[in-house]
Structure 1
């Protein structure tokens, strides 16, 4: 049976890796997900077949409860709420690892008689898992707007408090490793780690949430891998390391896309969902346009680049955008989509939305690829994107987003911005693009505005 379980694990891990390969493009992503999911089912079966497995009733109840909660939640969630679901489900994984570590402490009488590495890896998993769970809950609250997207911090006391909480958790863990069997120490570690997770994420503003989600995902993977070492469970080790490694790489890429270091992001204090100060729009006048004028301008263009942002996601305008693009293509106009790495509220948010609307993958152009083409673009249509198009990132050394790579939409011959109002984006700062002489603003709900443009294009 042990050999058979080992073979099942090898098959499962092969499917994990093959499934990940399918996630490199929208056309193969669904298949890749199914392949990886099949691998996880095989890994779970292999774990259940491990000699000595018991408590079948509790296992069945846990699987049933998880399916009853998870399946409807995943099926009903809107694409705009996908970042929140990812944050919540990721946090649940970290919380499960922390609880397993606590159970192991209790069943082994404080790791009495266990090898030293079991205690170390289990306590590490408990600390990181607890941080991930509670930090993910705060990220969920911010994304769901249950908690303010503004940075919430204790100013100069914030970082010293975080260090104290970390030292308390480490000290409790060291006492357990050196032989103490007091359960209060394990509880203290979990509570200190929970407080640390909350205090680390609260000061981080909405503009940094995509990076935070990715970072917490990596933490959950690392905690699962550590717990796998303690339990000698191959599935946890391999799956956890895959999640931890991929999450770490993605976090680094996201941080580079914002030209910010990961420590600076964790330190917090940047980005929130604030409106512009009263009167700021009057001080810098903007030009408004209509759906009819927008349709005429695009109908006589040679090349149109659509720049999607979170506003498109909120309005669920992706299908209307796709219909608009098809009408333009029918008139012989070239259409492309400019994708910024941190557009939206989670990694790949715009790609997922546009893939849902059957936008051809070849038309999705990454920032580094599309930026050189804006100078040859007749119309750049910005739909709900804000900070990722702000020229201040290149021109204003005093701006908090200075140095962040942006989409060079202001290099286009004409820019049309679809937006509800003049409110700022997640960074909480004004967007100089709105006041560019080449820019016109089409105010209103993105889905309604695009729908009106579609009707005007049909009439032309």
Structure 2
């Protein structure tokens, strides 16, 4: 039986790896998701058949069934009811619950054993419990703060106060100290202090990070949830959990680094730079925004030979992706070359805009990387910015005093004409004023993005 279980775990791990590989392409992403799901199904079934997971006793399948029903119900509700605008918050919550699960596994293993003296490696097992609790607790409360910021239930600006970094350092060192006490003595009170401090550190670690950096925070916490799961695997000696956690942790870290490079910032700067605090976002821009009607925009687009759509979170809010696809098809039929430029950190979670456009069946070959469109931007007749802010802000390349100076952007300001679709004149989620909106070649089209795009479609059809 043990041989069969180990072989099954190897098969499940291989399916995880192949599934993640297929997620790298839009053509194979759904198949990759299914492949990884099959791997997880194999791992779960084999684990339930393994009597050793319950010290040789039969498992309580009734309780397991109840848990599956509750979890499946929550998952189905989330899949059916949560809109794409709420997906970043949902991902943050799922990351948090993954961390909480790892924390509970570590605590439950200690509660069941009382001590690890009977373990073959008592010090290692105790250290694994501390690590699972530490990372899981930070992931849980940190993800809750990210959820509150993304959902608007908490201000998106960075929350900073004097001595904050020193306080965080003291809490972390104290946490490690009590962790050592638990490993050496096995005292339950030390573990409970570790749990409390890890939960506190998650809050203190995320509140000084501004809303504009939330996509990076989400991918980083996703990595943490994987690391916590791997630590839980060491606690209960489950090989497939260790492998799955390592895969999630490694892929999350890689994605985090990619996104940091896309912003020309280091991970340390994102986590400790307090970007988005009130002191870093105040600025004034000379000039005024110039409005344009849908009718006038139609005449410009009718004569355009090259158009680039640049989606942002505003497109998700308006659910305008299907209307964007329809307008793009009309422009193509009119002899216009159409592209969609996606910045790596556009939206409020990694891949947010890619998912939206894929949902609308926008041809994959029309999706362009930032560097590719920047090379031809000066030849583009019209760039249509739909609810994007920082990722098209010229201050990143022109204003050395700007908090985002040095961040690679989509250079829509170099296009011959720019249409900026925006609900109002307010700043973006990060709180920075976008100097693009004040340039001579930019015209603002105010209102709901879906209604604006639909209006342009109607103009072409009339």
* Superposition TM-score, scaled by structure 1 size: 0.96
CA–CA distance in 2 between the matches of 1:310 and 1:272?
A: 21
Aligned to 2:384: 381
CA–CA distance in 1 between the matches of 2:99 and 2:282?
A: 40
Aligned to 2:323: 320
CA–CA distance in 1 between the matches of 2:405 and 2:196?
A: 38
Alignment of 1:42 onto 2:45: no
Alignment of 1:379-418 (within 5 A): 379-418=382-421
Alignment of 1:435 onto 2:442: no
CA–CA distance in 2 between the matches of 1:111 and 1:95?
A: 22
CA–CA distance in 2 between the matches of 1:17 and 1:38?
A: 12
CA–CA distance in 1 between the matches of 2:268 and 2:446?
A: 38
Aligned to 1:26: 26
CA–CA distance in 2 between the matches of 1:69 and 1:200?
A: 28
Deviation digits for residues 64-108 of structure 1, max 9, x if unmatched? Answer: 221122222122211111111111011101100001100111122
Alignment of 1:133 onto 2:133: no
Give 1:230 deviation, angstroms: 2.3
Q: Secondary structure at the match of 1:405?
A: coil
Gaps of 5+ in 1: none
CA–CA distance in 1 between the matches of 2:454 and 2:255?
A: 35
Aligned to 2:361: 358
Q: Secondary structure at the match of 1:440?
A: strand
Give 1:25 deviation, angstroms: 2.0
Q: How many residues align?
A: 454
Aligned to 1:149: 156
* Superposition TM-score, scaled by structure 2 size: 0.95
Aligned to 1:63: 68
Q: Secondary structure at the match of 2:384?
A: strand
Alignment of 1:369 onto 2:372: yes
Give 1:390 deviation, angstroms: 0.6
Aligned to 1:181: 186
Q: Contact conserved, 1:94 with 1:224, CA < 8 A, in 2? A: yes
CA–CA distance in 2 between the matches of 1:72 and 1:277?
A: 40
Q: Contact conserved, 2:109 with 2:235, CA < 8 A, in 1? A: no
CA–CA distance in 2 between the matches of 1:268 and 1:34?
A: 39
CA–CA distance in 2 between the matches of 1:295 and 1:25?
A: 34
Q: Secondary structure at the match of 2:425?
A: coil
Aligned to 1:164: 170
Give 1:56 deviation, angstroms: 2.9
CA–CA distance in 2 between the matches of 1:362 and 1:136?
A: 35
CA–CA distance in 2 between the matches of 1:277 and 1:14?
A: 50
Give 1:422 deviation, angstroms: 1.4
Q: Contact conserved, 1:271 with 1:426, CA < 8 A, in 2? A: no
Q: Contact conserved, 2:304 with 2:336, CA < 8 A, in 1? A: yes
1:122 to 116, 122, 129: 129
Deviation digits for residues 29-69 of structure 1, max 9, x if unmatched? Answer: 11211111111111111111223233333322222221122
Deviation digits for residues 220-272 of structure 1, max 9, x if unmatched? Answer: 11111122122210111110000000000000011111111111111152127
Q: Which moved more, 1:427-436 or 1:336-345?
A: 427-436
Q: Contact conserved, 1:201 with 1:268, CA < 8 A, in 2? A: no
CA–CA distance in 2 between the matches of 1:160 and 1:110?
A: 34
CA–CA distance in 1 between the matches of 2:6 and 2:277?
A: 49
Instruction: Give the root-mean-square deviation of aligned CA atoms.
Output: 1.7
CA–CA distance in 1 between the matches of 2:177 and 2:64?
A: 34
Give 1:219 deviation, angstroms: 0.7
Q: Secondary structure at the match of 1:46?
A: helix
Q: Secondary structure at the match of 2:401?
A: coil
CA–CA distance in 2 between the matches of 1:408 and 1:358?
A: 26
Deviation digits for residues 185-229 of structure 1, max 9, x if unmatched? Answer: 111101100000011111111100000000001011111112212
Alignment of 1:306 onto 2:309: yes
2:339 to 330, 336, 341: 336
Give 1:430 deviation, angstroms: 1.3
CA–CA distance in 2 between the matches of 1:50 and 1:369?
A: 52
Q: Which moved more, 1:33-42 or 1:45-54?
A: 45-54
Alignment of 1:228 onto 2:233: yes
Alignment of 1:137-286 (within 5 A): 137-154=144-161, 156-178=162-184, 180-271=185-276, 284-286=287-289
Give 1:401 deviation, angstroms: 0.4
Give 1:121 deviation, angstroms: 1.7
Q: Secondary structure at the match of 1:150?
A: coil
Deviation digits for residues 131-188 of structure 1, max 9, x if unmatched? Answer: 001100110111111111111122x32111111111121111100111x232211111
Gaps of 5+ in 2: none
